[in-house]
Amino acid sequence: MKALNIFFVVLFVLSAALQYNDPDPYIWIPLYLYGAFLCYKATQKVYSKPLYILGFVVYVAYAVFLFVDKNGVLSWMQDHDAENIVQSMKATKPWIEETREFFGLALLLIALTANIVWLKNVRRETSDVRRQTSDVRRDMKQ
């Protein structure tokens, strides 16, 4: 999982850097850097529940908005026949830009969800080992 988190850190930092020329970099640079930060902390097995909840809520809320917006993913699928979104680097149509942004949020949500599941399992295993250790110590005293 550490290698995957390092991959996500690099991906999200590069994605943030590419947002410099985006029409709304003030939104996307912090979103990607926040995801990179959480993935970096996960490489150190540091999990802050409030930080993950904040990221998850923001990413889901914005993804829902981009999905149902008049130029969002739903419009791209229904009104524009799921037109190719990778035909050029410059998104000339608003539904292409918003669909790409939606998939960026999807990647962020995948990374956060994977880390939440993984870190919970790590904590559970750690607490099981601690419990077993304390049981052994207690048995040795008796």
- Residue 28 has a pLDDT of 94
**What's the gap between Cα 75 and its chain centre?**
24
**Res 88 pLDDT > 60:** no
Cβ atoms within 10 Å, residue 44 = 9
**Res 114 pLDDT > 60:** yes
Position with higher pLDDT, 91 vs 54? 54
In the chain, what percentage of residues exceed pLDDT 90?
A: 42
Looking at this protein, which amino acid is placed at residue 77? M
pLDDT (average), residues 101-110: 92
Burial of residue 124, with CB atoms counted within 10 A of its CB: 0-12 exposed, 13-18 middle, 19 or more buried: exposed
33 neighbors 15 (Cβ within 8 angstroms): no
- Residue 97 has a pLDDT of 73
- Residue 86 has a pLDDT of 60
Looking at this protein, which amino acid is placed at residue 67? F
Nearest to 43 by CA among 2, 103, 86, 88: 2
User: Looking at the 3D structure of the chain, how many domains does it have?
Assistant: 1
State the residue range of the domain holding 108: 2-141
